[in-house]
Structure 1
Amino acid sequence: MTEHDAVVFLAALAALLGVARLLGELARLFGMPLVVGEILAGVLLGPTVLGRALPGVHGWLFLQPTPQKMIGAYTTVGVVLLLVVAGLEVDLGIVRRRGRSAFFTSVLGIVLPLAGGLLLGFMLPASDMVHADQRVLFAMFIGVALSISALPVIAKTLLDLGLFKTDLGLLVMAAAMINDLVGWIAFSMLVGPMQGNAVDVARLVVMAALSLVFIVGTMTVGRRAIDRLLGQLADESHGGRVLSLVILFALVGASITQALGIHAVLGGFVVGVAIGDSPSLRERTRATIHEFVTNVFAPVFFASLGLRVDFLRAFDLRLCVLVFVIATVAKVVGCSVGARAGGLRWRESMAVGFGLNARGAMEIILALLALEAGLLKEQLFVALVVMALGTSLIGGPAMKRLLYRATEEDVVALLRRGGFVPRLASATATGAIEELVRILEPRLGHLATSARTLVLEREQMAPTGLGDEVAVPHAAIEGLEEPMLALGLAPEGVDFDAPDGKPATIVFLLLLAPGRYEEEVRVLASIARSVIDSHAREQLMDARETEQVLVVLAESARRIAEERRARGPALADI
């Protein structure tokens, strides 16, 4: 590498990162995912715009061989770390707990899109393929591509809609986790054959066996070792060390799978799952890793997509419409029918289907890897990118329309017939939950014991700290006929493992009847809106009587509702 190469590489990296971050933030202002702006940055800097307007500048920045390879190396690390972040979202405990519902939802959410993709792959003319003699492999890839979901986009959508901590949100996440586990393993098995003209069955069997050994080893012995190391660094002051360890483990895992002939992304994903499943990994540390990767590596990776393809020249309306319609219909129908078979009502089932329909970054990564492997033409690559962005954009609004249709439960009315503890005596989440259950015991009667057990079990599985010093531990209680709510204040704070690392000073305990997912969503949304304002939270902390609390919550809810009406609907507004 010459000094000139270093200058060009740094200038190109600065251009990609700077423009991608700027357009990503602009996209967020309009309620769209960051990835939309980041890809648009690549389109502007690539052959589509800059290459046409200022070909000399574009060539100097992005077409010189050595700097181009260096950008490629940077994006390779980026894609591995993106899969680590996706793996961190996988909670195997949630998958196990969701059981029947998650199984039906994920299986039908894989099978129908897989069938639709296979059908599309066999129907497309040879002119849409790079190698006409690889029809079976091509069809298998399209099937896998349409069946996969995007955990990070789905998680962000659920967070934006206030659904992440709900039972419905956990079901969507569990099904998405199963989808991604199956999808990425299947894709990794296809990478080797995609890079050659022949399918070596013996080599595929060996690769499958070796990948199984790696996955099982990482999720058993490796997971225990990782958990032990993270446990020793559980203190928040060691967050930097934990971040270094996570990246180290990810690079080692990626190196192993790449050496086995499987793509490096599988190693990053499996290591992310193993780390994310560790009880010693704090939510604050998880959020730090996510912020680091999505703000430093992800923008450059997604912007670099636009450098590879002339989107105007490669845009094929026929392919874009075909891919989008087949992908959306197959995924939404498959997941909706699966969720219905798992016990949900049709409206909730359809919301699950649209939530899992988001492909986002994971689809784009998969499409790029297939393009690099020489399996896709640029036209189909662009169609997959358009489909990934389109399905991500419609997921949130569709879920919102399906779930937020009825009048919300009034948090004031619920609390009026519930209970209030002006000062929680306990400094732990377990103790705080037990205190709030005791307040509701006169109304719960014989259900009090099971309520205490179920809320504590759910808290261990998925901590309910929302951030901004608010927590809402909750659970569905068999035999309960109407929702119950209790509020406790903790001036010293109680650790509910919130993403922002802050202890909760305002703790709502919510008990619901089983299977009433819409009701859960509405009540949690009502609670969130009542305490979203920092001034309302400060007033709550000064309250000593139930009536004072009710006045603060009612006034806060009224003020927030007026503000929402004044600014109009927004994509991520709840």
Structure 2
Amino acid sequence: MTEHDALIFLVALATLLGMARLLGEVARAFGMPLVVGELIAGVLLGPTVLGRALPDVFQWLFRQSTPQKMLGAYTTVGVVLLLVVAGLEVDLGIVRRRGRSAAFTSLLGMILPLAGGILLGFMLPDSDMKNPNQRLLFALFIGVALSISALPVIAKTLLDLGLFKTDLGLLVMSAAMIDDSVGWVAFSMLVGPMQGNSVEFHKLLTMGGLSLVFVAGTLTAGRRGIDRLLTRFADELHGGRVLSLVILLALIGAAITQALGIHAVLGGFVVGVAIGDSPSLREQTRATIHEFVTNVFAPVFFASLGLKVDFIHAFDFRLCALVFAVASVAKVLGCSVGARAGGLGWRESIAVGFGLNARGAMEIILALLALEAGLLKEQLFVALVVMALCTSLLGGPAMKRLLYRAQEEDVVALLRRGGFVARLNATTSRGAIEELVQILEPRLGHLAAHARNQVLEREQMAPTGLGDEVAVPHAAIEGLEEPMLALGLSSDGIDFDAPDGKPATIVFLLLLAPRRLDEEVRVLASIARSVIDPRAREQLMEARETEQVLKVLAESAQRIAEERRARGPALADI
């Protein structure tokens, strides 16, 4: 590497990162995912636009051998870390507790797209393939690609809709976790054969065995070792130290799977799952890791996709429409039927199907790796990218329309029938839950002890700190006929493990009737809207009587409703 090579690499990297971050923020301002703006940045800087307008500049920046390889190494690290972030979203405890519903939803949500993708792979003409001799491998890849979901996109959609902490949100996340885990293992088994002209089943079996050994070892002994490490140094691992530890472990895991002949992304993903499953890893730390990767590595990676393909020349409407239709119909139908078999109503089941239909960044990563392995033509790569973006943009509005069709439960009316504690004595989340359940005990009667245990168990499974010093511990209580709500205020704050790390000063306790997921969504939405205004939170902390609290919540809800009517419908509301 010469000094000139280093100069070109630095200029190219700065150009990609700067343009991707700028257009990513523009996309977010219009209510779209960051990845949309980042991909557009790559299209503008790649052969599609810059290569046509200023070909000499494009060649100087992105087509010189050594700087191009250096940029490729940077994006390789980026894709491994992106899979670590996806792995951190996986909570094995949630998957285990969702049990039957998650299993049905995930199983059918993988089988139908897998079958549809394999069928599509065999039906496409030879002209759509890079190498017609790889027909079986090509069909298997299309099946795996269409069956996978995008955990980060799904998590963001659920957060934006206020569904992340709900039972329906946990079901969607559990099914997505299973989909991603199985999908990445299956894809890693196909990477080796992608380099040849045929599928050798004994090699596939060997890859499968090595994959299972690595996954099982990392998620058992490896997970316990990581947890002990984080626990032992919990007080010392702050900021950059914990970030360094996570990246170090991820690179080691990626190197191991690469050495085994399995793709490095599997190592990053599985190590991310093992780290994320540690109770010692706090939500604030997860958020820090996520921010670092998505602001430093992800923009360059997604922008670099635009450098590889001329999107105008490679755009094939027939392929784009066909891939989108097969992927969406199979995924939504499979997940909806699975969720219905797991006990949900049809409307909620279809909402689950649309939520899991989002492919996002994970699909794009798969497509890029297959393109680099020589399995895909540029036209099919573009079709997979278009499908990933369209399914991600469709999920939020579809879920919103299906789940928020009914009038939201009035938080003021619920609290009027419930209880209010002006100053909680508790200093822990457990103590706050017990104190608030006690306030509702006259109405709960013999259900009080059961309600307390259910809320505590659910809080342990999925902490309910929302951020902005608000927490909503809640659970479905067998035997309860209608929702109950209690509110407690804490001047010192109570740790509910919120993503922003702030202790909760405003704690709502919500008890719900079982198997009414739509009611849970509406009540939580009403609570969230009543305290979204910082002024309302400040006024609540000054309240001493129930009537003062009710007045603050009613006025806040009215202000928010007027603001929404004034600005009209927008993508940012999704």
- Name the TM-score class by shorter chain: over 0.9
- Following superposition, the deviation at residue 573 of structure 1 comes to 1.5
SS of 1:308 mapped into structure 2 = coil
Look up the match of 1:348.
348
Separation (CA, whole Å) in 2 of partners of 1:263 and 1:196: 15
Query: Which amino acid in 2 is paired with 1:85?
Result: V
Look up the match of 2:11.
11
- The within-5 A match list for 1:135-150 is 135-150=135-150
Separation (CA, whole Å) in 2 of partners of 1:204 and 1:51: 40
**Equivalent residues of 1:95, 1:175 under 8 A apart:** yes
Look up the match of 2:235.
235
SS of 2:196 mapped into structure 1 = coil
SS of 1:560 mapped into structure 2 = helix
Separation (CA, whole Å) in 1 of partners of 2:363 and 2:6: 32
Over aligned residue pairs, what C-alpha RMSD do you find?
Answer: 0.8
Look up the match of 1:264.
264
Look up the match of 2:366.
366
**For each residue in 1:516-556, what CA deviation from the matched residue of structure 2 results, as whole angstroms up to 9, or x when unmatched?**
11100010010000000111101000101000000000000
Look up the match of 1:118.
118
Separation (CA, whole Å) in 1 of partners of 2:468 and 2:237: 20
Look up the match of 1:452.
452
Look up the match of 1:36.
36
Query: Which amino acid in 1 is paired with 2:27?
Result: A
- Following superposition, the deviation at residue 197 of structure 1 comes to 1.1
**Equivalent residues of 1:160, 1:572 under 8 A apart:** no
**Equivalent residues of 1:45, 1:51 under 8 A apart:** yes
Distance 1:548 1:236, change over 3 A: farther
**Equivalent residues of 2:136, 2:199 under 8 A apart:** no
**Equivalent residues of 1:234, 1:282 under 8 A apart:** no
Separation (CA, whole Å) in 2 of partners of 1:504 and 1:147: 39
Look up the match of 1:480.
480
Look up the match of 1:524.
524
**For each residue in 1:63-118, what CA deviation from the matched residue of structure 2 results, as whole angstroms up to 9, or x when unmatched?**
00000000000000000000000000000111111111100000000000011101
**For each residue in 1:34-89, what CA deviation from the matched residue of structure 2 results, as whole angstroms up to 9, or x when unmatched?**
00000000000000000000001111100000000000000000000000000000
Query: Which amino acid in 2 is paired with 1:5?
Result: D
Query: Which amino acid in 1 is paired with 2:561?
Result: A
Separation (CA, whole Å) in 1 of partners of 2:239 and 2:514: 38
- Following superposition, the deviation at residue 372 of structure 1 comes to 0.4
Look up the match of 1:573.
573
Query: Which amino acid in 2 is paired with 1:400?
Result: K
Separation (CA, whole Å) in 2 of partners of 1:358 and 1:449: 40
Look up the match of 2:152.
152
**For each residue in 1:263-297, what CA deviation from the matched residue of structure 2 results, as whole angstroms up to 9, or x when unmatched?**
00000000000000000000000000000000000
Query: Which amino acid in 2 is paired with 1:94?
Result: I
Look up the match of 2:191.
191
SS of 1:25 mapped into structure 2 = helix
Look up the match of 1:106.
106
Q: Does 1:170 align with 2:170?
A: yes
- The within-5 A match list for 1:251-330 is 251-330=251-330
**Equivalent residues of 1:512, 1:520 under 8 A apart:** yes
* TM-score normalized with structure 2 length: 0.99
Separation (CA, whole Å) in 2 of partners of 1:215 and 1:349: 31
Look up the match of 1:508.
508
Look up the match of 1:498.
498
**For each residue in 1:370-400, what CA deviation from the matched residue of structure 2 results, as whole angstroms up to 9, or x when unmatched?**
0000000000000000000000000000000
Separation (CA, whole Å) in 1 of partners of 2:514 and 2:234: 35
**Equivalent residues of 1:161, 1:572 under 8 A apart:** no
Query: Which amino acid in 2 is paired with 1:270?
Result: V
Separation (CA, whole Å) in 1 of partners of 2:401 and 2:42: 33
Query: Which amino acid in 2 is paired with 1:315?
Result: F
**Equivalent residues of 2:137, 2:198 under 8 A apart:** no
Look up the match of 1:418.
418
- Following superposition, the deviation at residue 571 of structure 1 comes to 2.2
Query: Which amino acid in 1 is paired with 2:187?
Result: F
- Following superposition, the deviation at residue 261 of structure 1 comes to 0.4
Separation (CA, whole Å) in 1 of partners of 2:415 and 2:119: 54
* TM-score normalized with structure 1 length: 0.99
**For each residue in 1:443-487, what CA deviation from the matched residue of structure 2 results, as whole angstroms up to 9, or x when unmatched?**
001110110001000000100000000000000000000000000
Look up the match of 2:225.
225
**For each residue in 1:173-199, what CA deviation from the matched residue of structure 2 results, as whole angstroms up to 9, or x when unmatched?**
000000001101000000000111132
Separation (CA, whole Å) in 1 of partners of 2:358 and 2:284: 26
- Following superposition, the deviation at residue 234 of structure 1 comes to 2.5
- Following superposition, the deviation at residue 216 of structure 1 comes to 1.0
- Following superposition, the deviation at residue 211 of structure 1 comes to 1.6
- Following superposition, the deviation at residue 568 of structure 1 comes to 1.2
Separation (CA, whole Å) in 2 of partners of 1:367 and 1:479: 49
SS of 2:302 mapped into structure 1 = helix
SS of 1:506 mapped into structure 2 = strand
Separation (CA, whole Å) in 2 of partners of 1:367 and 1:537: 45
Look up the match of 2:559.
559
Separation (CA, whole Å) in 1 of partners of 2:331 and 2:198: 31
**For each residue in 1:231-264, what CA deviation from the matched residue of structure 2 results, as whole angstroms up to 9, or x when unmatched?**
1232386232111110000000000000000000
**For each residue in 1:329-384, what CA deviation from the matched residue of structure 2 results, as whole angstroms up to 9, or x when unmatched?**
00000000100000000100010000000000000000000000000000000000
Separation (CA, whole Å) in 2 of partners of 1:457 and 1:527: 22
Look up the match of 1:380.
380
Which 4+ residue blocks in structure 1 deviate beyond 4 angstroms? none
**Equivalent residues of 1:354, 1:395 under 8 A apart:** yes
SS of 1:19 mapped into structure 2 = helix
Distance 1:8 1:572, change over 3 A: same
**Equivalent residues of 1:396, 1:571 under 8 A apart:** no
Query: Which amino acid in 2 is paired with 1:104?
Result: F
- Following superposition, the deviation at residue 566 of structure 1 comes to 0.8
Distance 1:207 1:306, change over 3 A: same
Separation (CA, whole Å) in 1 of partners of 2:274 and 2:65: 37
Separation (CA, whole Å) in 2 of partners of 1:447 and 1:571: 42
Long gaps (5+) in structure 2 = none
Separation (CA, whole Å) in 1 of partners of 2:231 and 2:217: 20
Separation (CA, whole Å) in 2 of partners of 1:202 and 1:119: 23
Distance 1:126 1:257, change over 3 A: same
Look up the match of 2:66.
66
- Following superposition, the deviation at residue 433 of structure 1 comes to 0.2
SS of 2:514 mapped into structure 1 = coil
SS of 2:113 mapped into structure 1 = helix
- Following superposition, the deviation at residue 212 of structure 1 comes to 1.4
Query: Which amino acid in 2 is paired with 1:121?
Result: G
SS of 2:573 mapped into structure 1 = coil
Query: Which amino acid in 1 is paired with 2:356?
Result: L
**Equivalent residues of 2:250, 2:267 under 8 A apart:** yes
**Equivalent residues of 1:233, 1:242 under 8 A apart:** no
Separation (CA, whole Å) in 2 of partners of 1:534 and 1:226: 39
**Equivalent residues of 1:332, 1:356 under 8 A apart:** yes
- Following superposition, the deviation at residue 570 of structure 1 comes to 2.0
Look up the match of 1:248.
248
**For each residue in 1:139-177, what CA deviation from the matched residue of structure 2 results, as whole angstroms up to 9, or x when unmatched?**
000000000000000000000000000000000000000
SS of 1:295 mapped into structure 2 = helix
Query: Which amino acid in 2 is paired with 1:280?
Result: S
